[in-house]
Chain A
Amino acid sequence: MATVTVEKSDLDKLTEFTKNTHWLLKNIESLRSKYAGRYVAVFDSGRQLLDAESMEELTSKIIRYGKSPETCAIDFVTREPYLLIL
């Protein structure tokens, strides 16, 4: 039996992560011209964006901005579209 319960705050965190993820997935093409070759983090339901050369630098920026990295949508913006074959 599960002992770790899912609280409302967990679901709120998931909702915020989902909004950021949806924004990034929908807008990744428009980010390519400016952020190609860089990591980006989207937060505040897609209203804020940070970028960095490395994941470590990006994580530090997010924390300095007072946000939690786990609710941000983070991705690497490739120079060309990148398709997954699964």
Chain B
Amino acid sequence: MVSIQLLAVKGDHCYVTALFICEHLDIKTPLKFVVDTGTIHTTLPEAKAREIGVDLEKLETYKVKLKMGGIGGGSDARMLGGVRLAFNATNGTSVEEELQFVHVLRNPPARDEEDRKILATFPCLLGLDIVRRFTLRFPEKHFAYLER
């Protein structure tokens, strides 16, 4: 069995870390994800995408434009293809998952300076495209697990 540990802080979301690998952009860097069963596709916010070296302007010229919405409003998104995520498994090995694409979500308008700063560190979202490949279990108070 393969098991990936998630941090489940009381009163907060479940978080997991993974190496984000995009070969054609020469990106291989650790990222923090909120485990989000309400998101179909794994998603990177604009600020994080830019930070790791994704040029959104180039994406716009050859990738499909998408409209995305949540309870707080809507925003445009782009698709970034050829992505892998590598997780640390609890047995000391790594678990690699390929994704045909992830979404890169444009920042929504910030209401104030604090909003702008929050958006700069907004977490990535681990969507159902990955979560569905595992069973999500909550056997412990502070940790959950993706297992298969």
Contacts and interface: CB of A to CB of B under 8 A. Distances in A.
Given A22-B7, A37-B114, A76 B71 contact: no
A69 to B, nearest CB: 9
A15 interface: yes
A61 to B, nearest CB: 16
Given A4-B28, A6-B96, A10-B28, A74 B19 contact: no
Contacts of B28: 4, 6, 10
Given A6-B94, A21-B15, A86-B70, A76 B7 contact: no
Interface in B49-73: 70-72
**Interface of B (DSSP majority class):** strand
Nearest to B21: A4
B1 interface: no
22 contacts: A2-B21, A2-B23, A4-B28, A11-B86, A13-B19, A13-B30, A14-B17, A14-B18, A14-B88, A15-B88, A17-B32, A18-B30, A21-B7, A21-B15, A25-B7, A55-B117, A74-B121, A76-B118, A78-B118, A84-B123, A86-B36, A86-B39
A17 B70 contact: no
Given A3-B23, A76-B120, A18 B38 contact: no
B17 A21 contact: yes
A25 B12 contact: yes
Interface in B72-127: 72, 84, 86, 88, 94, 96, 98, 114, 117-118, 120-121, 123, 125
Contacts of A71: 30
Contacts of B121: 39, 55, 74-76
